[in-house]
C-alpha cells in the first residue's frame, strides 16, 4: 500500500473517507485546520516583522 497525505475541503471529508474505504484503504488521521493553527502562523509572521523593525532601528540592518 501507499501512504498519501492530502488536503481536502471540510465538506468533502466524509465523501473522501468513504471512497478510500471502498477501495480497501484505511484513513489513518483526519485533522481539521483550526483557527488556532492559522493564528499561530500569523503570530509568527508578526513577531518576525517586529524583530526586523527592531534590527533596523538598532542599525543592525538597513531598510
pLDDT at 47: 95
3-state secondary structure of 29: coil
- Answer whether residue 14 is part of any domain: no
Residue 16: inside a domain: no
pTM of this prediction exceeds 0.85: no
pLDDT at 63: 64
In a domain, 8, yes or no: no
pLDDT at 27: 87
Residue 11 lies in a domain: no
Domain-embedded: residue 10: no
Asked if residue 27 is part of any domain, the answer here is: no
Number of C-beta neighbours around residue 17 at 10 A:
14
> Are the CB atoms for 32 and 10 separated by under 8 Å?
yes
Give me the pLDDT at residue 38, please.
81
Q: Give the domain range for residue 63.
A: 33-63
4-55, pLDDT tens digit by residue?
888 888 788 889 999 999 999 988 877 776 777 788 888 999 999 999 999 9
Domain membership of residue 18 (yes or no) is no
Q: How many residues does the chain have?
A: 63
> Do residues 7 and 29 make contact, with C-beta atoms less than 8 angstroms apart?
no
Burial class (CB in 10 A: 0-12, 13-18, 19+), 16: middle
In a domain, 60, yes or no: yes
The tally of domains found in the chain comes to 1
Amino acid at each position: 500500500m501507499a501512504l498519501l497525505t492530502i488536503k481536502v475541503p471540510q465538506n468533502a471529508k466524509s465523501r473522501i473517507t468513504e471512497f478510500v474505504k471502498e477501495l480497501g484503504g484505511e484513513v489513518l488521521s483526519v485533522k481539521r485546520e483550526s483557527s488556532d493553527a492559522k493564528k499561530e502562523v500569523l503570530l509568527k509572521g508578526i513577531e518576525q516583522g517586529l524583530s526586523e523593525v527592531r534590527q533596523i532601528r538598532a542599525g543592525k540592518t538597513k531598510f
